[in-house]
């Protein structure tokens, strides 16, 4: 294509005039401001790429690619009819030509659940390369309609600095059987200075398109669809699939057809380490790049899916570029297609960076918790309608219309690209969990709940894993989450950490568990304690990587919607004072090491460097305080099986090695009976897990002895009943 001179008149055969005055002309004329230097630093400014000119849908194949051979084909003429046909909806996705900048424009003013918004993504085009430039959103628009034209105007928020923020979109009106006309968008400043203009051809009715690859564990019958009228519910009765639910939200979910059966034994149990490895090994579309592709594994059971634990699914893409995979577990939902549909849509919602309805206070800007929301992202047991009335699961399902709420719909359709696309921002960035400062104390608190946090070691050495003791105490009898669900990985408890470098981190666990809230009724004054490793974060990696003072506070989202704020805990991380200390700190602060510690060990080849680092610390630096944590992770990994998914769908299971598990774990437990070593809650967890492994291997006597020993230790430490009960066989 020849260069267009500044303010030159350009003639393009086969197009009607831009102002729509003439219908059948062979040439049109329009003026385009072009940067003489060829620089295109602001796609909305006056020196952006040349204006884009397209005739509409007839110039594009189904994949959105232009067919230049059809440029001279006139648009079909629709004969007049006695009764005027309805107009086409204007909402959908439009795309300009890839010249300088390519704009993907989203118009949302009519059709299904219109939100009255505009948004778009810019891509910089240079020769054969295309790169993402930035996104913009118009939160509120004014629409002027005539018999021939729709004009949509609003002011945009952008991801790049620009003064050209006023968007004016013009779309010719077309009857329902006519081809979709193109949309033109002109940028200007609030004072009226004119910027770039783009002509965008109709691309699709969906605002975004995502490829979904679904794999299934042998023995599992995955969800096909669910008739929403088969049980009491709100909204119209229709048959919904997972893709259909997203289609109603305006997102096209394309099944890649790449579904495979993952062959496992009938009694196979997944753990987080195996799932992490399975996604990277078996998701055929997986790569370390942002892409509109996602993996859903229909699995049978997780090691935390037990009669006393209600884990239904996990969004588990845990390191690097995140949110590309999730899993659902059918052991608890196999006979209930309604819950199957809910779980599949809910977990995929996390992959789009959507948060639970009761976590909206962490959004940026923050919003109140939405326990009243009739949304895929709420927990039915948490439902509390506005204005009073029945609460909980029966009330939720009776009113649930099987849809996202408007806040979530806005994110899905119009969120900035990197905040939504799989592999874009880490889970939480651009959607929730954002905080400008650590939480302040409440002026008044009459909830009857107290949340206490403290570090297991208040003065650790750099490189030592930071474990947080979390305890919820009820001053009066009321229902709260079970003790295990107070771990941050379940999302009911959030941890905020102020670092010595001056920033504030809202901890994002690399592994998130979605479970139906399991509520218990502790006695008045009873405490529910849990310990959690919080040293490694899904977004920033290693959190405690500098010597200095760290301040930690946590919040608990109670079932009644109250937000309980903890005390402020202080941790002083000391610098190593020896060559050995420096070496151990380097080994323990690696990203792979942090992920391996989070998973409590793994056989995944993707984390082999981290496991090697733990082996080195455990064996060569056995007297260092960090060595006991290395032995814990190595021992827990050997105490459980590891399933490696092969490319053909078969699974190779490495069985537990109880000899090595005993070597690492029994030693770590014994070292922690006095001062130092592991915190008590971690000791109990390790011992209980090791006892279960011995019981599964047929060593009933050894398991009973270990349980009795650790139960005696817990009683000597005056642990609350909830801890003692968890140690029963």
Q: Domain locations in the chain?
A: 35-70+86-203, 208-420, 434-575
How many angstroms separate the CA atoms of 316 and 347, rounded?
A: 10
Helix %, strand %, coil % of the chain (to 5): 25, 25, 50
Per-residue pLDDT, 442? 42
Contacts of 661 (CB under 8 A, 6+ apart): 635, 636, 638, 639, 690, 693
Per-residue pLDDT, 35? 39
> Worst-scoring range by mean pLDDT, 44-58, 545-559, 623-637, 678-692?
44-58
Q: For tokens 């060569």, what's the residue?
A: 620
Per-residue pLDDT, 246? 97
Tokens at residue 31, please? 């003026």
Per-residue pLDDT, 432? 29
Give the helix ranges, DSSP H, for 64-156.
Answer: none
Residue 332 pLDDT class (50, 70, 90 cuts): confident
Average confidence (pLDDT) over 524-529: 90
Cα 38 to Cα 45, 46, 98, 285: the distances in Å are 13, 12, 15, 37
Per-residue pLDDT, 44? 81
How many angstroms separate the CA atoms of 535 and 141, rounded?
A: 44
Contacts of 551 (CB under 8 A, 6+ apart): 438, 497, 498, 568, 569, 570, 571
Fold match, 208-420 / 434-575: no
The answer regarding whether domain 208-420 maps to CATH 1.20.120 reads no
Residue 130 pLDDT class (50, 70, 90 cuts): confident
Helix axes 579-588, 627-638, angle to 10 degrees: 40
How many angstroms separate the CA atoms of 420 and 358, rounded?
A: 20
How many angstroms separate the CA atoms of 489 and 514, rounded?
A: 9
Average confidence (pLDDT) over 359-386: 76
Per-residue pLDDT, 74? 55
List, for residues 603-654, the tens digit of each pLDDT value: 988 899 999 999 999 999 999 999 999 999 999 999 999 988 777 778 888 9
Per-residue pLDDT, 434? 26
- Contact 554/529 with Cβ under 8 angstroms? no
How many angstroms separate the CA atoms of 187 and 52, rounded?
A: 13
How many angstroms separate the CA atoms of 676 and 104, rounded?
A: 58
List, for residues 374-409, the tens digit of each pLDDT value: 999 988 888 888 888 898 889 999 999 999 999 899
> Worst-scoring range by mean pLDDT, 161-170, 640-649, 707-716?
640-649
Mean pLDDT of the chain: 82
Average confidence (pLDDT) over 157-183: 95
**108, pLDDT greater than 90:** yes
- Contact 203/93 with Cβ under 8 angstroms? yes
Per-residue pLDDT, 342? 94
Tokens at residue 156, please? 């945009």
How many angstroms separate the CA atoms of 399 and 226, rounded?
A: 17
Per-residue pLDDT, 394? 92
- Contact 241/223 with Cβ under 8 angstroms? yes
Q: ∠ at Cα 149 (144, 155), nearest 5°?
A: 45
- Contact 535/594 with Cβ under 8 angstroms? yes
Neighbouring CB atoms inside 10 A of 342's CB total: 23
Per-residue pLDDT, 629? 94
Per-residue pLDDT, 47? 63
> Worst-scoring range by mean pLDDT, 30-44, 353-367, 452-466, 605-619?
30-44
Looking at domain 434-575, its CATH architecture is Sandwich (2.60)
Residue 366 pLDDT class (50, 70, 90 cuts): low
**437, pLDDT greater than 50:** no
**34, pLDDT greater than 70:** no
Looking at the chain, the whole-number percentage of residues with pLDDT higher than 70 is 82
> Worst-scoring range by mean pLDDT, 269-273, 548-552, 605-609?
269-273
**590, pLDDT greater than 60:** yes
Q: Which DSSP helix (H) or strand (E) runs through 650? A: none
Residue 361 sits at φ, ψ, to 5 deg, of -70, -10
What is the Cβ-side half-sphere exposure of residue 36, based on CA atoms within 13 angstroms?
Answer: 3
How many angstroms separate the CA atoms of 47 and 494, rounded?
A: 46
Chain centre distance of CA 114:
24
> Worst-scoring range by mean pLDDT, 189-193, 214-218, 718-722?
718-722
How many angstroms separate the CA atoms of 496 and 507, rounded?
A: 6
Per-residue pLDDT, 308? 52
Most confident of 33-42, 184-193, 441-450, 642-651: 184-193
Q: Which residues of 647-662 are buried (b: 16+ CB within 10 A; e: fewer)?
A: eebebeeeebbbeebb
Per-residue pLDDT, 305? 64
Average confidence (pLDDT) over 707-728: 84
How many angstroms separate the CA atoms of 278 and 324, rounded?
A: 12
Per-residue pLDDT, 273? 78
**361, pLDDT greater than 90:** no
How many angstroms separate the CA atoms of 637 and 284, rounded?
A: 27
**207, pLDDT greater than 90:** yes
Most confident of 31-45, 283-297, 617-631, 665-679: 617-631
Tokens at residue 711, please? 């139960």
| Residue among 355, 607, 654 at smallest CA distance from 494 | 355
How many angstroms separate the CA atoms of 680 and 469, rounded?
A: 10
Tokens at residue 531, please? 């310990």
Tokens at residue 726, please? 């968890």
Tokens at residue 55, please? 């005739």
List, for residues 3-16, the tens digit of each pLDDT value: 333 333 333 333 33
Average confidence (pLDDT) over 82-105: 91
> Worst-scoring range by mean pLDDT, 337-351, 357-371, 414-428, 675-689?
357-371
Strand partners, 554: 495
Average confidence (pLDDT) over 296-311: 76
Average confidence (pLDDT) over 239-243: 95
Bond from prior residue into 365 cis (ω within 30 degrees of 0) = yes
């Amino acid at each position: 294509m020849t260069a267009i001179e500044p303010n030159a008149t350009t003639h393009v055969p086969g197009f009607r005039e831009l102002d729509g005055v003439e219908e059948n002309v062979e040439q049109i004329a329009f003026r385009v401001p072009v940067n003489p230097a060829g620089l295109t630093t602001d796609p909305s400014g006056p020196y952006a790429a040349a204006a884009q000119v397209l005739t509409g849908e007839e110039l594009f194949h189904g994949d959105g690619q232009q067919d230049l051979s059809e440029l001279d084909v006139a648009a079909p003429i629709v004969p007049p009819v006695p009764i005027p046909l309805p107009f086409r909806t204007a909402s959908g996705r439009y795309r300009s030509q890839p010249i300088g900048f390519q704009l993907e424009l989203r118009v949302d003013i009519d059709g299904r659940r219109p939100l009255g918004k505009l948004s778009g993504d810019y891509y910089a085009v240079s020769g054969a390369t295309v790169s993402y430039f930035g996104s913009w959103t118009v939160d509120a628009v004014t629409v002027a309609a005539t018999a021939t034209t729709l004009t949509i105007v609003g002011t945009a928020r952008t991801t790049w600095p620009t003064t050209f923020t006023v968007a004016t979109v013009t779309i010719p009106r077309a009857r329902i059987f006519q081809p979709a006309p193109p949309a033109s968008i002109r940028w200007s400043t609030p004072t009226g200075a004119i910027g770039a203009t783009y002509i965008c051809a109709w691309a699709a009715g969906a605002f975004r398109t995502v490829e979904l690859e679904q794999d299934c564990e042998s023995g599992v019958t995955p969800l096909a669809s669910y008739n929403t009228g088969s049980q009491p519910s709100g909204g119209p009765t229709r048959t919904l699939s997972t893709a259909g639910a997203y289609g109603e939200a305006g997102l096209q979910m394309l099944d890649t057809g790449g579904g495979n059966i993952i062959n496992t034994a009938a009694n196979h149990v997944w753990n987080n380490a195996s799932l992490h490895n399975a996604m990277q090994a078996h998701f055929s579309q997986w790569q370390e790049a942002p892409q509109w592709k996602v993996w859903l594994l229909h699995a049978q059971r997780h090691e935390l899916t037990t009669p006393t634990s209600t884990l239904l699914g996990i969004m588990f893409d845990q390191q690097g570029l995140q949110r590309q995979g999730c899993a659902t577990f059918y052991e608890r939902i196999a006979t209930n297609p309604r819950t199957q549909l809910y779980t599949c849509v809910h977990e995929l919602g996390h992959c789009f960076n959507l948060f639970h309805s009761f976590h909206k206070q962490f959004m940026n800007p923050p919003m109140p918790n939405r326990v009243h929301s009739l949304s895929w992202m709420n927990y039915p047991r948490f439902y509390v309608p506005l204005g009073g009335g029945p609460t909980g699961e029966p009330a939720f399902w009776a009113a649930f219309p099987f849809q996202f709420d408007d806040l979530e719909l806005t994110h899905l359709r119009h969120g900035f690209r990197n905040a939504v696309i799989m592999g874009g921002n880490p889970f939480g960035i651009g959607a929730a969990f954002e905080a400008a400062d650590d939480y302040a104390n409440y002026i008044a608190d009459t909830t009857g709940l107290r949340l206490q946090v403290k570090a297991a070691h208040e003065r650790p050495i750099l490189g030592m894993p930071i474990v947080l003791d979390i305890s919820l105490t009820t001053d009066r009898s009321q229902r709260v989450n079970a003790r295990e669900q107070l771990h941050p990985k379940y999302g009911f408890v959030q941890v905020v950490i102020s670092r010595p470098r001056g920033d504030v981190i809202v901890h994002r666990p690399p592994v998130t568990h979605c479970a139906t809230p399991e509520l218990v009724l502790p006695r008045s004054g009873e405490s529910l304690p849990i310990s959690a490793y919080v040293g490694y974060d899904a977004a920033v990696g290693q959190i405690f990587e500098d010597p200095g003072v760290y301040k930690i506070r946590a919040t608990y989202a109670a079932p009644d919607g109250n937000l309980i704020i903890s005390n402020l805990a202080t941790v002083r991380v000391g610098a190593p004072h020896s060559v050995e200390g420096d070496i151990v700190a380097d080994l323990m602060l690696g990203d792979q090491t942090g992920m391996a510690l989070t998973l409590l060990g793994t056989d995944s080849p993707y984390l082999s460097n981290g496991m090697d680092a733990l082996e080195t610390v455990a064996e060569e630096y056995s007297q260092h305080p960090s060595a006991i944590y290395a032995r814990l992770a190595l021992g827990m990994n050997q105490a459980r099986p590891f399933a490696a998914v092969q490319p053909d769908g078969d699974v190779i299971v490495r069985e537990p090695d109880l000899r090595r598990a005993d070597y690492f774990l029994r030693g770590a437990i014994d070292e922690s009976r006095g001062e130092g070593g592991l915190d008590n809650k971690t000791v109990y967890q390790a011992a209980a897990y090791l006892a279960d492994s011995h019981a599964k291997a047929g060593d009933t006597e050894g398991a009973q002895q270990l349980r009795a020993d650790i139960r005696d230790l817990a009683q000597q430490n005056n642990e609350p009943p909830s801890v003692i009960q968890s140690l029963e066989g």
